Amino acid sequence: MREKFIKFMEGRYGVDAFARFTMGVAFVMIILSMFIRNRVGAAFDTIGLLAILYTYYRMLSRDIQKRYAENQKYLSITSGIRQKFNREKNIMQQRKEYHIYSCPNCKQKIRIPRGKGKIEIDCPKCHTKFIKKS
């Protein structure tokens, strides 16, 4: 059975970031339609089902260049938002071991190890000196 599925999927586009996004939108719409019981809920349900159908159409498509171009367009549109989230995620991961201060003069972010007491920080960009607790 698994071999048949693998053989069926050969030459098909598969799942990418845009497919995951459209599937997420579809599930959110369907869940919203469960709580809203009127024409708006029916519209959400229809939009969700159409999004699922579109996602499966993209995943099973053999026109790889078109699907790749669609995914690249989606990634270029969402690049700014994804960069902000990745930056915040990186800061949160480093928060346990480092303080991240901004230079009062040039606003350059500076990473200082925690637990060193009161230290004088020299900004690597503008060489302004300021005192902070680590």
Q: Are 25 and 50 in contact (CB under 8 A)?
A: no
1-11 confidence digits (pLDDT tens):
889 988 888 88
Q: Give the list of residues 6+ apart from residue 33 with CB closer than 8 angstroms, or none.
A: 41, 42, 44, 45, 48
114-123 confidence digits (pLDDT tens):
988 999 999 9
| Residue 134 pLDDT | 82
For the question of whether the overall pTM of this predicted structure is more than 0.75, the answer is no
Q: Enumerate the β-bridge partners of residue 129.
A: 122
Q: What is the spatial distance between Cα 20 and Cα 24, in angstroms, rounded to a whole number? A: 6
CA 1 to chain centre: 34
The pLDDT-based confidence of 12 (bands split at 50, 70, 90) is confident
